[in-house]
Structure 1
Amino acid sequence: MPKNRMPEIENIKYFALLEEFETSDKLIKLGFGELQNINLNNDFYFLPFQLLSQGFERFMKAYICLGYFHKHEELPNFRYLKNLGHDLEKLLKEIIDNYYFDFDSPQFDLDNEFIQTNSDLKELLFILSEFGKLARYHNFDLITDNAQIGINTKKLWEEFENKALDSKDYQKLMDFNLSHEVYQKISTYIIVVFEKYISAISRQFIFKCLGQKGLQLSSSTFFDFGILYEKDFGKKDYRSQTTKYKETPKKVHKRTMLDEVERKVNPEYKSKKILKSEYKGDWPFYAEEVIIECRRSHWCIVIIDGFDYALNGSAKGRYKLENPHDAGMAVLGKSISDFIKMTLELSKAEKH
C-alpha cells in the first residue's frame, strides 16, 4: 500500500510534470473540438487523430509517472517509460495493473468495469495507437513502397462510425436540413466513450488515490473530467476551443421592434412559444424556452434569448443565419427535427 507520507518532487520535475498534464488536457479537449467540427464539408480526420493520440499518450505517461512516485516514493527512470512505447492500450493496462486504486465507492466499480471491458474504448484506442505508431505516414508508405505499411486508420475510424448509425440516420443524410445531425451523433458517441475513459482515470485524482500531489497536479487540468458522471457525458461543446470555430463568424440576428411588429401583423408569419417544462421529448436547447416561427410556409426560424437562428436549410439560405447547433445554442447530438416539423405545421394548421 502507498505510504501516507511521501517525499517532495524536486521543483524542476514537478513543473515539468504539471506542464505535461496541462499540455495533454489541451490536446484532448482540442481533439474533441475537432471531432465536433467534422461535417459534410470537413473530413480532415488527421487533425483530431493527431491531437487525441498525442494527448492520451502524454496524459497516461504523466499519470504513470505520478502513480509510480506515489507507490515507490521516486519518479520512474527513462528506460521504464521508454519501454512502455506508444501503444495506448498498453499504457492503460500499465495503469490498471499498477496505479489504479479502489476508492471504495460504487462509482469505482463502474469506472473499473468500463476501462477494462468496454469494446468501443479498446477499438478506438487501437486505432489511435496505430495512427501514432505508423499509420500517420500511410500515404508516404504507399508512395515509397515501404514494406512496413501502416494501417489505414481513417478507414478503420469510418467503419467504427458506421456502427453508431441506424436506418433513420441514413435517411437524415439525404435531408439537407438534418444531415449535420448525423455527424453530431457520431462525434457525440465517440466523445462519450472517451469522456468516460478520461473521467474514470481522473477520478483517481479527485479521491486522492495518488495522494495530495495528484490532487494538486490535476486541479487546473483534469479535475473537470473527474467530476463528470453519467448524466454529464456528451453534453459539452468543445468546438469553442478550436481555431476554426473561433474564426468563423456566427451569423445570427438580434430581434428588433420591427421584427416583433411583423410577427404580429403579417398573416404569413406564424409563431409559438415552447417551454422546456412542457415539452415531452428530449429538449435540445440550452435555453429554457424558445419561440418557433414559420415564415411564408417554409422558412423555419427559432428565436432564442432575442436572437434568430435557422431551423431549416431554407431559412439558413434566405436569411444567412446559423442553425442552433453551429451557433452553440443547442446540445450537439440532440435533434431539432421535431422543432422543424412543429414549425412547418404552424402554417398547415392555419390553412385547415
Structure 2
Amino acid sequence: MAEIENLKYFVLLEEFETSDKLIKLGFGELQNINLSNSFYFLPFQLLSQGFERFMKAYICLGHFHLHKELPNFKYLKELGHDLEKLLSEIIDNYYFDFNRTQYDLDEDFIKNDSELRQLLFILSEFGKLSRYHNFDIITDNSKIGVNTNKLWEKFENSILTSNDYENLIDLDLAQEVYHKISNHIIIIFEKFVSALSRQFVFKCLGQRGLAITASTFMDFGLLYDKDFGTKDYRKQTTKYKETPKKVHRRTVVDEVQRKTDPNFKWKKINKSEYDGDWPFYADDVIIECRQRHWCIITIDGHDYALNGSAKGRYKLENPHDAGMAIMGKSISDFIKMALELNTSNKH
C-alpha cells in the first residue's frame, strides 16, 4: 500500500485541523451576530478560508486515493480560490458512493441545493476580491469585487417572513430573528461539510483518509438530519468566552418568596407535556412573572431573563445567550405563557 511521506502526512493533517477550527469558529461568529454586532467580516474571513482549505485538503486525499500520489503544485494552484469550482472538482472526481440511502441525500444536496451555491458564491467572491472592497473604492481600482455584505443581506432577507420583520422591532424577540437567520445558514453549511466528511467515515478515500481526519471532521461526518442546527458554536469564540454570563443561582430565600409572594406567579413546564418544539436543553423549566412585568425562567436551579424588562432589572442573561436554549428555537411562547400567568389563578 502506498504511503504518504511523514512530513507531507503531518502538514496535511495540520490543514484538516486548521480548516476544522476555522469552520467551527466561523459558525460561532455567525451565531454571535446580533443587534449590537454586525461585524460580518470575521465570519466571512473564517468560513471562506476554512472551506477552501478543507476542500483542497480533501482533494489531496482524493488524489492520493486514486493515483497513489499527492497532487502537484500546479494542479492545486489552477483550482484557485473559487469554492464552487473546488466543490465541482470533488463531485466530478473524488466523491464516491458508499451504498447507503444517505449517499443519495448527500449527493443531491451538494449538487443541487441552490442556497448552498449562493452562499459559496458569496464567500468565494469575498475570498477573491471583496475583502478589499473598501480599498478598491478608495484607490479607484478598476477591478472592484462585488459587495458581499449586500449579497449576504439579500440572502438573509429571503429567509425572513413578515412576522420576522415585526419581531425585529420587538426588543424581546429581535434576537430570535438573528438566531433564525444564523441557524438557517449554519444548517446549510453543516449539511455541506457533513456530506463531504461522510466520505471519510465510510472509507471512500481509503483507510488513510479515515486516519487523517479521525480527530477533526469525524464529528461532522456523524451529523444527520436530526442533528443539524442544534449545536452552539459560540462557546468556541473569544467573544463568548470573555463575556460574563449573568445568571442567578437560586437560594432558599428565593424559593420562599416565589411560594409566598402574591406578586410572583409561576408554573413548572415539562418537555413531555409541552405541545410544541421544546427549545431548552433541560427537560423541565419553571416560568415566573413578577409584578406583572418581569418574566424569568428557572433552569437547573438558576434564573435567566425571559424578557427584556427582566434582563434590565435583574441583570440576567437570556437562555439563548447563556447557552441553555437551543439556537434557532424560539422561546417566545414561554414569554407569552409567563405574562399570561397574571390572568390565571395559578400560584
By the TM > 0.5 criterion, same fold? Answer: yes
Equivalence for 2:56: 61
Find out whether 1:32 has 2:27 as its counterpart: yes
Find out whether 1:87 has 2:91 as its counterpart: no
2-structure distance, mates of 1:342, 1:230? 30
Equivalence for 1:129: 124
* Identity within the alignment, %: 75
Of the three residues 200, 205, 209, the one matched with 1:214 is 209
1-structure distance, mates of 2:171, 2:15? 43
Q: Alpha-carbon deviation of 1:242? A: 0.2
Of the three residues 232, 235, 239, the one matched with 2:227 is 232
CA-atom RMSD in angstroms:
0.7
Equivalence for 1:320: 315
Q: Alpha-carbon deviation of 1:347? A: 1.0
Q: Residue 237 of structure 1 aligns to which amino acid in structure 2?
A: D
Q: Residue 97 of structure 2 aligns to which amino acid in structure 1?
A: D
1-structure distance, mates of 2:169, 2:134? 31
TM score, norm. by length of structure 1: 0.98
1-structure distance, mates of 2:70, 2:276? 52
Equivalence for 2:341: 346
Of the three residues 305, 314, 324, the one matched with 1:310 is 305
2-structure distance, mates of 1:268, 1:40? 32
Equivalence for 1:117: 112
Of the three residues 246, 260, 266, the one matched with 1:265 is 260
2-structure distance, mates of 1:264, 1:66? 63
Equivalence for 2:274: 279
Equivalence for 1:180: 175
Find out whether 1:14 has 2:5 as its counterpart: no
Q: Residue 206 of structure 1 aligns to which amino acid in structure 2?
A: V
Q: Give deviations 1:189-233, integer Å, cap 9, x for gaps.
A: 000000000000000000000011111111110000000001110
1-structure distance, mates of 2:81, 2:179? 29
Q: Alpha-carbon deviation of 1:350? A: 3.5
Of the three residues 122, 129, 142, the one matched with 2:137 is 142
Find out whether 1:50 has 2:45 as its counterpart: yes
1-structure distance, mates of 2:235, 2:212? 25
| 5+ long unaligned stretches in structure 1 | 1-5
Secondary structure of 1:39's partner? coil
Q: Residue 83 of structure 2 aligns to which amino acid in structure 1?
A: L
1-structure distance, mates of 2:82, 2:271? 45
Of the three residues 220, 234, 246, the one matched with 1:251 is 246
Q: Residue 90 of structure 2 aligns to which amino acid in structure 1?
A: I
Q: Alpha-carbon deviation of 1:135? A: 0.3
| 5+ long unaligned stretches in structure 2 | none
Q: Residue 325 of structure 2 aligns to which amino acid in structure 1?
A: A
Q: Residue 16 of structure 2 aligns to which amino acid in structure 1?
A: F
2-structure distance, mates of 1:142, 1:204? 43
Q: Alpha-carbon deviation of 1:171? A: 1.0
Q: Give deviations 1:233-260, integer Å, cap 9, x for gaps.
A: 0000000000000000000000000000
1-structure distance, mates of 2:141, 2:164? 39
TM score, norm. by length of structure 2: 0.99
Secondary structure of 1:145's partner? coil
Q: Give deviations 1:261-298, integer Å, cap 9, x for gaps.
A: 00011010011100000000110000000000110011
2-structure distance, mates of 1:19, 1:76? 17
